[in-house]
C-alpha cells in the first residue's frame, strides 16, 4: 500500500501545546499577580504635596494599566496561536490521509496493490 505524503507535525503540535500552556498558566498567573499587586492603586508619595509627585503617580498608573493590558493581550494571542497551530496539525494530518487514499486508489486502478 502507498504511504502517502507523511508530513511531520510533531514540532507544530509541540508549539501548539506550549502556547496553550502559556495562555492557560503562564500569562494567566501573570495577569492574576499583576492584578493582586496593583489592586491597592498607586500610593507612593501620597503624603508629598505638589504637582510633580501627582504627575509621576499618574504616569506610573498609566504604565501599570498598559502592562496589565499587554499581559491580557499576550494571553489572548498565545491562545489564538495555539488554536491555529492545532488546526495546522489537523489539516496536515488530513492532507496525509487524503494523499495516502489517493495513492492507494491509483495503485488499485493500475493493479499494483
Q: What is the pTM of this model?
A: 0.56
Q: Is 41 left (phi over 0), alpha (psi -120 to 50) or beta?
A: left
Write phi, then psi, for 87 (nearest 5 degrees): -65, -40
- pLDDT tens-digit profile of 40-80? 665 555 566 677 777 887 888 888 888 888 888 888 888 88
In the structure grid, which three cell numbers stand for residue 70, read together?
499587554
- Residues in the chain, total: 113
pLDDT at 12: 76
Burial 49-67 (b: 16+ CB within 10 A, else e): eeeeeeeebeeeeeeeeee
Amino acid at each position: 500500500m502507498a504511504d502517502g505524503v507523511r508530513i511531520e507535525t510533531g514540532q507544530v503540535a509541540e508549539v501548539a501545546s506550549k502556547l496553550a500552556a502559556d495562555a492557560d498558566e503562564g500569562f494567566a498567573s501573570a495577569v492574576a499577580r499583576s492584578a493582586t499587586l496593583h489592586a491597592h492603586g498607586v500610593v507612593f508619595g501620597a503624603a508629598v504635596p505638589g504637582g510633580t509627585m501627582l504627575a509621576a503617580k499618574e504616569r506610573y498608573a498609566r504604565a501599570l494599566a498598559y502592562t496589565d493590558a499587554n499581559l491580557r493581550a499576550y494571553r489572548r494571542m498565545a491562545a489564538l496561536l495555539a488554536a491555529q497551530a492545532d488546526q495546522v496539525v489537523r489539516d496536515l494530518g488530513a492532507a496525509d490521509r487524503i494523499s495516502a487514499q489517493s495513492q492507494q486508489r491509483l495503485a488499485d486502478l493500475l493493479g499494483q496493490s
